[in-house]
């Protein structure tokens, strides 16, 4: 049996697409995620695990809502906002949704400019994203304050099933925490980008490795995920 050294990964012609590429990548006895950096792959794996965390919250909410004999408070009325004497249902939530979508838009463009090595535009767009995120958290704090003043607690509320409060605080609280962490993450990466770390190869304080522009895309993945979770919360908690 001839002893043949394995060919370098680059010499194995990558299948370009479709099912053959899937089979080839997974059966290559090499990196399954060909051409994907470990940072990006790990962020995706983390986001997958976070998907399960939020799924469990939403499924828990679904379970208590479906199994209670007490009527569920009407979110459309609970979250209405009075502007100039008229009650708009879910007005604040709608504004929050648009703010978060806008932040995703600016983030997507920041990633694009990062790969063009356009330092100024990247930083400005990341700061805009962080600003929208902070605005979102601020509006959420306003909403929590309003509801707490109206008597919503994790164990009771004036309108119906007591589980409403616990589901609301758990789900929006966990999401708000993710947004807050995302804002901090954005500011840290924006500072590094502004300082030119990704061009000069300056070592990171925490990892002692040179940063690369790809970190902007990885930050973006996290940020878009936060927006993605809000899409589900908006539909399943507020509109249901």
Partner 1 sequence: MAHAATAEGQQHPIRLYLLVWGWLFILSACSYLVDYVGLQGVLRWSLILLFMLVKAGLIVAVFMHMAWERLALAYAILLPPLAVLVFVGIMVFESGHTLGMREFFFAGV
Question: At residue 210, what are phi and psi to the nearest 5 degrees?
Answer: -70, 135
Nearest residue (CB) to partner 1, 63 versus 151: 63
- Contacting residue, 12, 21, 153, 210, with partner 1 by CB under 8 A: 21
Q: The tokens 């986001």 sit on which residue? A: 47
- In this complex, which beta carbon is closest to partner 1, that of residue 141 or of residue 235? 235
- Which SS3 state, helix, strand or coil, does residue 239 take? helix
Query: How far apart, in whole angstroms, are the C-alpha atoms of residue 35 and residue 41?
Result: 10
Give the pair of three-digit tokens for residue 88: 């708009």
Q: Does 169 bind partner 1 (CB under 8 A)?
A: no
Q: CA Rg, the chain, in Å?
A: 23
Length of the chain, please?
Answer: 240
Name the residue nearer to partner 1 (CB basis): 48 or 120.
48
Indicate which single residue of 2, 66, 86, 158 sits in contact with partner 1 (rule: CB under 8 A): 66
x-or-dash string of contact with partner 1, 183-222, rule CB under 8 A: ------------------------------xx--x--xx-
**How do 86-88 and 81-83 pair as beta strands?**
antiparallel
Considering only residues 85 to 124 of the shown chain, the ones binding partner 1 according to CB under 8 A are 89-90, 94, 97-98, 101-102, 104-105, 107-109, 111-112, 114-116
């Amino acid at each position: 049996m001839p002893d043949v050294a394995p060919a370098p990964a680059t010499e194995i012609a990558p299948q370009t697409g479709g099912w053959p590429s899937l089979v080839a990548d997974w059966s290559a006895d090499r990196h399954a995620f060909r051409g994907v950096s470990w940072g990006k792959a790990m962020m995706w794996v983390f986001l997958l695990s976070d998907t399960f965390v939020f799924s469990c919250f939403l499924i828990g909410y679904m379970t208590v809502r479906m199994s209670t004999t007490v009527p569920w408070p009407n979110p459309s009325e609970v979250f209405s906002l009075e502007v100039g004497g008229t009650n708009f249902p879910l007005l604040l939530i709608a504004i929050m949704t648009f703010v978060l979508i806008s932040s995703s838009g600016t983030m997507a463009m920041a990633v694009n400019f990062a790969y063009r090595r356009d330092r100024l535009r990247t930083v400005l767009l990341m700061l805009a994203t962080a600003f929208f995120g902070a605005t979102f958290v601020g509006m959420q704090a306003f909403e929590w304050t309003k509801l707490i003043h109206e008597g919503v607690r994790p164990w009771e509320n004036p309108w119906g099933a007591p589980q409403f409060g616990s589901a609301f605080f758990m789900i929006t609280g966990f999401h708000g925490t993710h947004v807050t962490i995302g804002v901090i993450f954005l500011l840290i990466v924006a500072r590094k980008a502004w300082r030119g770390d990704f061009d000069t190869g300056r070592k990171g304080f925490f990892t002692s490795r040179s940063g690369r522009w790809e970190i902007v895309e990885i930050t973006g993945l996290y940020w878009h995920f936060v927006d993605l979770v809000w899409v589900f919360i908006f539909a399943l908690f507020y509109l249901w």
